[in-house]
Amino acid sequence: MRAIYNSLLTLCCCLLLGLTPLSIRAETAATGDPLVRAQALLDALTPTTDTAQFATTARSFGALVDEVRQQGAPDEVLIKLRKLASNMRKQTEERLRAAEAAAGEDEGALEQVYRSQVWEDLSFSLVAFPFWGSWLDLTLADRPARAADRAQLIWRARRGFRAASMQIYQPSLVYGGWLGLGFAAVAEKKPAQAREIFNSLIKSLSFDAQHPVRKAAEAELAVLAKGPQAAPAPDQQPVEGASVPNPVRDELFALLEQHRKTKVGAREAGARIRQLLADDRVSMALIVDLMQYRAEIVSEDTGWLTPLFAAEFALGNQQWITAAQKYREFFAKRRDNRQLNFNRFRYRYAVACLKADLNDDAAEIADDLLDAPRLEAELERAAAKLAYVARAKRPDAKSTGGSRAELKAAAQRFIKLNPADPDALGARITLAQSAGDTAGALKLLSQIKSPAGAAGSVETSRFYVIAREFAKQANRPGAQLDALARDGLKVWAALPEEQRKNKQNLVFSLQLRAVADSDPAAVLKAIALAEQQPGVSVNDQRVYFWSRLRLYDRQNAPRLALGQVEAAGAVVPAWMAEQLYPWVKQLKDTALQAEFAAALAPKLKALPEMERRFRLLHIELLLADGQGEAAYTASRALVADYPKTGDGYRMLARSAQQTKRLIEADNAWAIITKKVPPSFPIWWDGMLSRIEIRAGSTRPESACELAVKVARQKAPDAGTEKRWQAARSRLKCATES
Task: Say what the pLDDT of residue 110 is.
Answer: 56
Say yes or no: 450 and 416 in one domain.
no
Question: Each residue of 402-412: pLDDT tens digit?
Answer: 777 888 888 88
Share of the chain above pLDDT 70, in %: 84
Question: Each residue of 470-480: pLDDT tens digit?
Answer: 877 777 767 78
CA angle 95, 97, 98 (to 5 degrees): 65
Which range among 54-58, 241-245, 462-466, 662-666 shows the weakest confidence by mean pLDDT? 241-245
Say yes or no: 402 and 511 in one domain.
no
Task: Say what the pLDDT of residue 526 is.
Answer: 92
Q: Is residue 606 included in any domain, yes or no?
A: no
Tell me the average pLDDT of the chain.
81
> What residues make up the domain containing 474?
440-550
Say yes or no: 153 and 182 in one domain.
yes
Q: Is residue 708 included in any domain, yes or no?
A: yes
Place 687 in a pLDDT band, splitting at 50, 70 and 90. very high
Amino acid of residue 707: A
Task: Say what the pLDDT of residue 684 is.
Answer: 93
Question: Each residue of 199-215: pLDDT tens digit?
Answer: 888 887 777 777 788 88
Place 74 in a pLDDT band, splitting at 50, 70 and 90. confident
CA angle 672, 676, 679 (to 5 degrees): 125
Say yes or no: 265 and 213 in one domain.
no
Mean pLDDT of 448-458: 54
- CA nearest neighbour of 389 among 425, 420, 419: 425
Task: Say what the pLDDT of residue 633 is.
Answer: 93
Q: CB under 8 Å to 299, separation ≥6 — which residues?
A: 266
Say yes or no: 383 and 284 in one domain.
yes
Place 23 in a pLDDT band, splitting at 50, 70 and 90. very low
Contact criterion met (CB below 8 Å) for 184 and 196? no
Place 562 in a pLDDT band, splitting at 50, 70 and 90. confident
Of 40 and 119, the structure prediction assigns the larger pLDDT to 40
Contact criterion met (CB below 8 Å) for 221 and 230? yes
Q: How far apart are CA 146 and CA 12, in angstroms?
A: 25
Of 668 and 11, the structure prediction assigns the larger pLDDT to 668
Say yes or no: 213 and 347 in one domain.
no
- CA nearest neighbour of 84 among 107, 64, 99, 56: 64
- CA nearest neighbour of 42 among 60, 24, 18, 17: 60
| End-of-domain residue from the set 525, 550, 575 | 550
SS3 call for 491: helix
Question: Each residue of 704-719: pLDDT tens digit?
Answer: 989 999 999 999 899 9
DSSP state of 448: -
Q: Residue 275 maps to which CATH number?
A: 1.25.40.10
**Count of the separate structural domains present in the chain:** 4
- CA nearest neighbour of 573 among 564, 560, 582: 564
Question: Each residue of 249-284: pLDDT tens digit?
Answer: 777 888 888 888 888 888 988 898 888 888 888 888
Say yes or no: 126 and 267 in one domain.
no
Q: How far apart are CA 502 and CA 504, in angstroms?
A: 6
Question: Each residue of 635-647: pLDDT tens digit?
Answer: 999 899 888 888 8
Say yes or no: 135 and 223 in one domain.
yes
- CA torsion sign for 136, 142, 143, 146 is positive
Say yes or no: 444 and 416 in one domain.
no
Of 421 and 344, the structure prediction assigns the larger pLDDT to 344
Report field, pTM of the whole predicted structure over 0.85:
no
Say yes or no: 412 and 270 in one domain.
yes
CA 165 to chain centroid, in Å, comes to 26
| End-of-domain residue from the set 411, 439, 467 | 439
Contact criterion met (CB below 8 Å) for 184 and 159? no
Say yes or no: 69 and 198 in one domain.
yes
Of 521 and 66, the structure prediction assigns the larger pLDDT to 521
Mean pLDDT of 579-594: 86
Of 600 and 437, the structure prediction assigns the larger pLDDT to 600
Q: Is residue 84 included in any domain, yes or no?
A: yes
Reported for 485-490, long-range contacts at CB under 8 A and 24+ positions apart, including other chains, are: 485/512, 485/513, 485/515, 485/516, 486/516, 487/442, 488/463, 488/512, 488/516, 489/513, 489/516, 489/517
Rg (the chain; Cα; Å): 40
Task: Say what the pLDDT of residue 306 is.
Answer: 93
How many CB atoms are located within 10 Å of the residue 501 CB? 10
Contact criterion met (CB below 8 Å) for 20 and 14? yes
Place 329 in a pLDDT band, splitting at 50, 70 and 90. very high
Say yes or no: 220 and 271 in one domain.
no
CA angle 39, 45, 47 (to 5 degrees): 145
Q: Is residue 599 included in any domain, yes or no?
A: no
Transcribe 318-368 into DSSP letters. T-HHHHHHHHHHHHHH----SS---HHHHHHHHHHHHHTT-HHHHHHHHHH
Q: Is residue 598 included in any domain, yes or no?
A: no
| End-of-domain residue from the set 175, 201, 236 | 236
Task: Say what the pLDDT of residue 309 is.
Answer: 93
Task: Say what the pLDDT of residue 253 is.
Answer: 82
Q: How far apart are CA 692 and CA 703, in angstroms?
A: 8
Question: Backbone phi, then psi, for 536, in 5-degree steps?
Answer: -75, 120
Q: How far apart are CA 674 and CA 617, in angstroms?
A: 24
For residue 436, what are the CA distances in angstroms to 408, 441, 467, 472, 490? 12, 8, 13, 11, 22
Q: Is residue 693 included in any domain, yes or no?
A: yes
Of 105 and 527, the structure prediction assigns the larger pLDDT to 527
Q: Is residue 332 included in any domain, yes or no?
A: yes
